[in-house]
Copies of this chain bind each other. A is one copy, B any other.
């Protein structure tokens, strides 16, 4: 018989999580004497003490809700027993903690990467073909298939050819408030370090998002006097027939392939990593196993001088007071409040609030509400001070722990982190998702042992061993840190890369379509 186990996140908590596979039956007796008065499903909360009606339910040393009726010690705290705490306002938030001791530096860790002209480092060597508008995507997809078959084999140092397909560019209110977000996202994706600092663009000709608007003068660094933005325009009068369009795209692509093929990996410090972390398909184990392990790895990365972005505004919104106190200075705290306020307003305009975030899967997994989910989400940012804040679609220009404001939607968050310049992506999941991106390796961390075993060829890291007691948070954090360096170096591949699984990029466009 397996030993009944719970995990309590903080000594002030009056609930803990049952971690045994399949949950535990009524009558189970724990080594410390706690006896279950009801069945408790796996990943769900049990009351550690008698909780009176109206009393706070505390997890992560934070009030995640109020008891709607008396809850006896040993009882399963079902969602229906938990009243949601009031929304945290954005006034009178804690000021940043002063004179915080910095995390100790971590030295000596390197990876093999592709150094770019602008100083950034790629983890893959990819030809990206940018598109101004959705109209061209069928033609570009046709060309990419031929490029992969006919040209790519001649350029063995190039890893892949990727079309930056999207649904923006025309039929949109391009001058509306918020339209700058999708436009700068597309611009900055083209400059992702994995694309070697080269920009190749396919345009239709009559679209609203003209090449000069997507890449205004100066936005593309000129690498040599003769080499700037390379555009193939399908409506160009010189194109007679479909074959001419394909030939133009292939000719332009070959020029870039030849240049990219000259690049070689070199040893660079771990500080060149730009890691985007997020979670999706979360359960109660996300905040207990995978996210704390990612938080541990995040601290290692920050200590090594790298950049780590955490995101997902609706999932951290309820922990804003934690975040402002962790801000490096008042400017960072104010920027964070500004991003939260913008999103509050965006949701309000659409007739909803942050409670729109939680999914049926979250609740089935034991998360009572967005407050509890937020605490489990924030923990993947580790303990470093928050060094900066990035608006959606902006490019990251600094190191350290960054709050990159994005929606929580996995694909929109990933797309915006890609635009920010991420060269490695970490994704934790409790319920399981086969998420992948074509442009950057996605390392998937399973929250539960059961998921890691069943999805053995989709999950890269098993943080479920923390729940079973086989590993500590530190063990899995270090494992993830080393795996990131191996994958970044091309020595290892993620499962998503192995199967060539990837999802479409998804732009965040808060403006109307027309």
Contact = CB atoms under 8 A, between A and B. Distances in A.
A322 interface: no
A97 to B, nearest CB: 30
A391 interface: no
Contacts of A407: 171, 513-514
Contact of A206 (B175, B346, B360, B436): B360
A511 interface: yes
A457 to B, nearest CB: 5
B242 A434 contact: yes
Contacts of A242: 434, 455, 457-458, 495, 499
A388 B361 CA distance: 40
A437 to B, nearest CB: 9
Nearest to A451: B235
A504 interface: yes
A135 B350 contact: no
A356 B432 contact: no
B357 A204 contact: no
A503 B436 CA distance: 21
A171 B410 contact: yes
Contacts of A206: 281, 359-362, 364-365, 431-432
Interface string A349-373: 1111010110111101100000000
14 contacts: A135-B503, A142-B501, A175-B356, A177-B351, A204-B281, A207-B360, A237-B454, A346-B512, A347-B514, A350-B510, A356-B514, A407-B513, A504-B504, A510-B512
A435 interface: yes
Contact of A205 (B243, B361, B512): B361
Contact of A137 (B137, B165, B357, B504): B504
Interface in A300-358: 314, 346-347, 349-352, 354, 356-357
A170 interface: yes
Contacts of A205: 361, 431-432
Q: Which of A165, A349, A408, A513 has the most chain B CB within a 10 Å cutoff? A: A513
A177 B410 contact: no
Interface of A: 134-139, 142, 165, 167, 170-178, 204-208, 210, 234-235, 237, 239-243, 245, 280-281, 314, 346-347, 349-352, 354, 356-357, 359-362, 364-365, 407-412, 431-436, 454-458, 495-496, 499-504, 506, 508, 510-514
The DSSP consensus for interface residues of chain A is loop
Contacts of A510: 350, 512
A495 B237 CA distance: 20
A451 to B, nearest CB: 9
B512 A352 contact: yes
Given A138-B436, A206-B360, A354-B514, 14 more contacts: A134-B506, A138-B435, A170-B410, A171-B410, A173-B351, A204-B431, A205-B361, A206-B359, A206-B432, A239-B455, A241-B455, A242-B499, A356-B514, A508-B513
Contacts of A234: 432, 434
Contacts of A173: 347, 350-352, 356
A105 to B, nearest CB: 37
B356 A174 contact: yes
A41 to B, nearest CB: 14
Interface-centre pick from A172, A176, A280, A409 (highest chain B CB count, 10 A): A409
A135 B279 CA distance: 13
Given A171-B411, A455-B241, A501-B138, A431 B235 contact: yes
A501 B347 contact: no
A350 B511 CA distance: 6
B409 A171 contact: yes
A197 to B, nearest CB: 28
Contact of A134 (B165, B361, B365, B504): B504
B352 A349 contact: no
A433 B207 CA distance: 10
Contacts of A499: 142, 242
